[in-house]
Amino acid sequence: MALNPAPPALLVLADGTALRGYRYGAQGTTVGEVVFNTGMTGYQEVLTDPSYCGQMVLFTYPELGNTGVNSEDGESPRVQVQGVIVRHGCRQPSNWRAQESLADYLERWRVVGISGVDTRLLTRRLREQGAMNGAISTEILDPQELLERVAQAPSMAGLNLVPRVSTAQVYEWHTPTPKQWEFAAVCPQPDPLVVVAIDFGIKHNILRRLASYGCRVVVVPASTPAADILAYDPDGIFLSNGPGDPAAVTEGIATAQALVKTGRPLFGICLGHQILGLALGSQTFKLKFGHHGLNHPAGLGNQVAISSQNHGFALDRDTLAPELQITDWNLNDQTVAGLRHQELPIFSVQYHPEASPGPHDADNLFAQFVAQMEHYRQIQRG
């Protein structure tokens, strides 16, 4: 039985590039910043990562959706991306864990996508000119008309998207990484360390790794003042990943400033790393096309970790506060990938140690956070 051909769809970029393809996901029109992701696996994790809020993801891997989607691999309870761009979108998945096809999943979450477009051409354009806004539509099929929609969209620089994705309620997280996927020694704790995680758009796998390392995790909204965080008497505070321009998250930066003064252990990932840097007086800038992939080398000296990355902004190495020491460079472009405070138990990484796209190289950072919290607790309890 022949499958009905998918209905037409149109993609335009802000520079006027227009490509025709087929609907892959929901009907409608969507506008956002287009970024390319070079990962060969993990599309479900990408699509549900709250850090992608406001962005349309162009997958450079040419075949998407083969393993479908399941109820376990989401990094948050919903699809977060603004749109999906693929070369070939599989409509009939085959995998023992598949519960739904990717196209149906996108449609269920009302996310507009396009397949059948030349993703190599688009990637080259974004590499040459930088990430830019774009639109996908299944209903506006005239390039000029769709381009007018793109022109109305705000630029990512200056956008605070954290309120769109942060939790409204405080909750506790208890679920560790499932046994069949666990790869590091887990230390069960009789008197668990208490971590308050500030949710700027937190990924489930960060919460799972903290639980796997024996922590009791209290997740709080991004707008929670420092005094309310300290009311939990946490052994450590975690600053999560999240979407948008870090410099626009002024409330989070002020909270981090207050927390730094307490001397408690702080650990930041991605947006959390940028917020810690900003809190200490450093500045951020927008990268040309960002880092979105699974194999970015990060390191210093002869130590290199293969890391998963997803960010469009970075801390400016020339404005780093003097008390911050660089622990990792992104070895592709020499941007700052990791920091440690010289005196206080504070450290952060621009990459994602919780992601395990094959390598688990950076998972030991969670052990490092735990060691700092244990040390802090010992000192406090004398």
Catalytic residue annotation: 270, 352, 354
Task: Single out the residue of 211, 257, 217 nearest to residue 237, CA to CA.
Answer: 217
268 binds ligand GLN (CB under 6 A): no
- Choose one: 9-17, 56-64, 174-182, 242-250; the region binding ligand GLN (CB under 6 A): 242-250
58: nearest Cα among 282, 215, 290: 290
What is the distance between the alpha carbons of residues 353 and 168, in angstroms, rounded to a whole number? 26
Per-residue binding letters, 49-78, with ligand GLN (x by CB under 6 A): --x---------------------------
CA distance 209 to 176: 6
* Interface region with ligand GLN, contact rule CB under 6 A, candidates 16-24, 221-229, 240-248, 371-379: 240-248
In the complex, minimum distance from the CB of residue 62 to ligand GLN, in angstroms, rounded to a whole number: 24
Tell me the closest approach of the beta carbon of residue 214 to ligand GLN, in angstroms: 25
Site for ligand GLN in 308-327 (CB under 6 A): 310-313
Task: Work out how close the CB of 234 gets to ligand GLN at its nearest, in angstroms, rounded to a whole number.
Answer: 21
The packing angle between helices 250-260 and 271-279, to 10°, is: 70
105 vs 351 by CB, closer to ligand GLN:
351
Distance CA 377, CA 197 (A): 18
Q: How far is the CB of 150 from ligand GLN (least distance, A)?
A: 20
Residue with nearest beta carbon to ligand GLN:
270
Of the ranges 86-94, 117-125, 131-139, 238-246, which one interacts with ligand GLN (CB under 6 A)?
238-246
Question: Which amino acid appears at position 62 of this protein?
Answer: P
| Measured distance CA(35)–CA(56) in Å, rounded | 6
| Residue from the set 244, 252, 265, 338 that interacts with ligand GLN by CB under 6 A | 244
Q: Count interface residues toward ligand GLN (CB under 6 A).
A: 12
Nearest by Cα to 362 from 297, 310, 302: 297
> Least distance (Å) from ligand GLN to the CB of residue 307?
12
In the block, which residue shows the tokens 């007086």?
Answer: 281
Do β-strands 284-300 and 303-315 pair in parallel, antiparallel, or remain unpaired? antiparallel
Q: Which residues contact 94 (CB under 8 A, 6 or more apart)?
A: 66, 67, 68
**DSSP H or E stretch at residue 120:** helix 119-129
Complex with ligand GLN: residue 176 or 243, whichever CB lies closer: 243
| 241 touches ligand GLN (CB under 6 A) | yes
The CA-based angle 344-349-350, given to 5 degrees, is: 140
- Residue 289 lies near ligand GLN (rule: CB under 6 A): no
Annotation-wise, does 299 bind a ligand? no
Residues 6+ apart with CB under 8 A from 128: none
Query: Is residue 271 near ligand GLN by the rule CB under 6 A?
Result: yes
**Which is nearest to 259 in space by CA: 251, 269, 271?**
251
Query: Which residues sit at the interface with ligand GLN, rule CB under 6 A?
Result: 51, 241-244, 246, 270-271, 310-313
Detail the residues annotated as belonging to a binding site for L-glutamine. 51, 242, 244, 271, 274, 310, 312-313
